[in-house]
Amino acid sequence: MVELNERYSSRIGFKTMTARKGTRGSREAVRSSGLVKRTRPGELLVQSFLFFCAVVSILTTIGIIAVLGEESMRFFLNDEVKLVEFFTSTVWQPAIGKFGILPLVNATIMTSLFAMLIAGPVGLGIAIYLSEYAPDRFRAFLKPVLEILAGIPTVVYGYFALTFMTPLLRAVFGFDLVDVYNTASAGIVMGFLILPLVTSMAEDALSSVPRSLKEGAYALGATKLEATTQVILPAAFSGIMAAFVIGLSRAVGETMIVALAAGAGPAFTFNPFKSAETMTGHIVRISGGDLSFDSIDYNSIFAIGLMLFLITLALNIINRRIVKRFREVYE
């Protein structure tokens, strides 16, 4: 038994020495052939610049969080503010010491959901048409049109909602039922704003599906509709859901449309035809007024901004979980 161990260990040592000699020989061969890594100042400069950009973005995010946290703490540490009331009360009237954020959150969610009701189905339909059905000429025409929608200033969308969508809703549902400022009008127009974003991301997800899956479905006798609904859409599900969540995040943070068309006063209502103020709209209205620095009204802006940040962060976390859970990897 001892002899076998000695023989085995000697063989291992011999193989290790041979491998080392082979590695040294290969290194010497590479050096002799001139294939040695050389320092390129241009590449180092580009790499340093990219690293600098990444550091700047991280530091900017940290700075925003620090400012929101510091200013929000001044608001929450005020004797007039109660943390439980802030998250549960349905009245937001700083003049009388009422700080319930639910009306602002409710209006924000309503307008965002209305936006996704427009951008979700329509954007997915456009993406399917562009990736599977549209001729090359029409695709080349439709994509620039969507890019034009994305480039229109949001203040133009706001006045469009106020001067076109609201009169249209009032003519259809009645002037007594629909207020001049309402969350439905703002949400519908917001859906057209985020439509290019949802369409572009959904189309990228559909186009990334391997062609072999489509050809396999056609080989089994599937029609184009069956291949799209039963093969391509399930394969691109994670990307499509990511497009919806990012579009929802974009809708939550929209400002000018809701500031012009949704309303200028907090109201806890589930009626989409009534006036209600969102979190971003309230920040715009209050910050444009005559507020003294470090007053409770002034600090409340940062508390609302912190809530917006947390909502957006939660949506991004959900987006990453969905992508990680349903991502399909093909070889």
Concatenated DSSP letters for 21-53?
HHHHHHHHHHHHHT------HHHHHHHHHHHHH
Asked whether residue 40 is domain-assigned, the answer is no
Indicate yes or no: pTM above 0.85: no
Distances (CA, A) of 201 to 92, 113, 117, 196: 37, 19, 17, 9
- Tokens (6 digits) for 142: 């439709």
Under a CB-based contact definition with an 8 Å cutoff, are residues 191 and 117 in contact? yes
Tell me which amino acid residue 167 is.
P
pLDDT for 25 equals 54
pLDDT for 4 equals 44
Asked whether residue 5 is domain-assigned, the answer is no
pLDDT for 44 equals 86
pLDDT for 169 equals 93
Write the CATH number for 159: 1.10.3720.10
Q: Which of 211, 149, 224, 158 is nearest to 186 (CA)?
A: 158
Asked whether residue 331 is domain-assigned, the answer is no
| Domains identified in the chain, total number | 1
12's CB contacts (< 8 A; 6+ apart) are: none
The backbone torsions φ and ψ at residue 91, rounded to the nearest 5 degrees and listed phi first, read: -125, 125
> Alpha helix locations (H) across the chain?
2-33, 41-76, 83-88, 102-128, 136-151, 154-160, 166-173, 183-207, 211-219, 224-227, 233-235, 237-252, 256-261, 279-287, 296-326
Query: Which domain range does residue 305 map to?
Result: 83-326
Under a CB-based contact definition with an 8 Å cutoff, are residues 260 and 155 in contact? yes
pLDDT for 239 equals 87
248's CB contacts (< 8 A; 6+ apart) are: 112, 115, 116, 315
Cα–Cα distance, 99 to 300 (Å, whole number): 9
pLDDT along the chain (331 residues), means of 10: 46 46 54 61 88 94 89 85 87 84 92 93 92 85 84 91 93 90 93 92 88 85 87 88 90 90 87 92 80 76 90 87 71 55
Asked whether residue 56 is domain-assigned, the answer is no
Asked whether residue 29 is domain-assigned, the answer is no
Cα–Cα distance, 268 to 89 (Å, whole number): 10
